[in-house]
């Protein structure tokens, strides 16, 4: 938690330098998940919890051909759906959340994925991280910063936050980053983590943004 004006100013300056380096290193950072519409985006993001984007894309390539409409999810057999997404992990919970969300989207929101933070958070399995990703990519609505495992790890490593809780890290980042940078910051951090500073043990002194 940022406690003093001095600490805030120091973090803002650090964030400015980190962001400048990330933009130089990864000018073409973007969402890795593949989808054709807002509902498929939501499904992909829910599936991505504790799973790699690469694996999710492998699963959804078949899944989206089998379940083509929202009604296909509303009427889906849960056991069969579990088998379809098994390799993404936590398949029972993800199945329950996705199929329940399909019914809510149809019955409460007229078949459209909600476009506000308050409404989208009413869907089962939708955290602030999921909400930020979906709202930003689907509607250009930016109300926060999507904090995934890469953002958690690298924000702490680079001294942008000392917190461990994703919500508190998001609050810290929102204080020190200009709002116009919130949406892309997540994707810069994800790509940086993948290409330059992975979670596995390595020499951080060689990481290009570390200094």
The tens-digit pLDDT sequence of the chain (211 residues) is 787 889 899 999 999 999 999 999 999 999 999 999 999 999 999 999 999 999 999 999 999 999 999 999 999 999 999 999 999 999 999 999 999 999 999 999 999 999 999 999 999 999 999 999 999 999 999 999 999 999 999 999 999 999 999 999 999 999 999 999 999 999 999 999 999 998 888 887 888 887 6
pLDDT of residue 144: 97
CA dihedral 55, 89, 41, 39 (to 10 degrees): 140
What stretches of the chain show up as alpha helix (H) in DSSP?
Answer: 5-25, 38-47, 53-66, 70-74, 78-85, 91-108, 117-120, 128-139, 149-157, 166-176, 182-195
**Sequential DSSP letters for 89-117:** S-HHHHHHHHHHHHHHHHHHSTTS---SH
pLDDT of residue 201: 87
CB contact at 8 A, 187 and 29 = yes
User: How far is Cα 82 from Cα 77, in angstroms, rounded to an integer?
Assistant: 9
pLDDT of residue 31: 93
Q: Give one word for 202, left, alpha or beta, with left for phi > 0 and alpha for psi -120 to 50.
A: beta
151-172, pLDDT tens digit by residue? 999 999 999 999 999 999 999 9
Q: Which residues of 75-111 are buried (b: 16+ CB within 10 A; e: fewer)?
A: ebeeeebbebbeebeebeebbebbbbbbeebbeebee
User: How far is Cα 79 from Cα 180, in angstroms, rounded to an integer?
Assistant: 43
**CB-based contacts of 140, cutoff 8 Å, min separation 6:** none
Residue identified by tokens 């998001």 is: 170
């Amino acid at each position: 938690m940022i406690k003093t004006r001095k600490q805030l100013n120091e973090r803002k300056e650090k964030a400015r330098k980190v962001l400048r380096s990330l933009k130089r290193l990864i000018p073409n950072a973007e969402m890795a998940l593949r989808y054709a519409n807002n509902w498929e985006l939501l499904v992909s993001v829910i599936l991505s919890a504790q799973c790699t984007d690469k694996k999710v894309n492998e699963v959804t390539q078949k899944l989206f051909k089998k379940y083509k409409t929202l009604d296909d999810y509303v009427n889906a057999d849960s056991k069969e759906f579990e088998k379809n997404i098994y390799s993404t992990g936590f398949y029972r919970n993800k199945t329950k959340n996705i199929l329940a969300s399909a019914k809510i989207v149809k019955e409460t929101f007229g078949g459209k994925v909600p476009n506000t933070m308050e409404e989208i958070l009413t869907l089962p399995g939708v955290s602030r991280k999921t909400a930020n990703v979906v709202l930003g990519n689907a509607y250009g609505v930016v109300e926060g910063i999507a904090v995934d495992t890469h953002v958690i790890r690298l924000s702490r490593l680079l001294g942008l936050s000392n917190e461990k809780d994703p919500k508190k890290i998001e609050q810290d980042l929102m204080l020190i980053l200009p709002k116009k940078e919130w949406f892309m910051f997540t994707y810069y951090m994800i790509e940086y983590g993948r290409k330059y500073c992975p979670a596995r043990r390595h020499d951080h002194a060689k990481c290009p943004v570390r200094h």
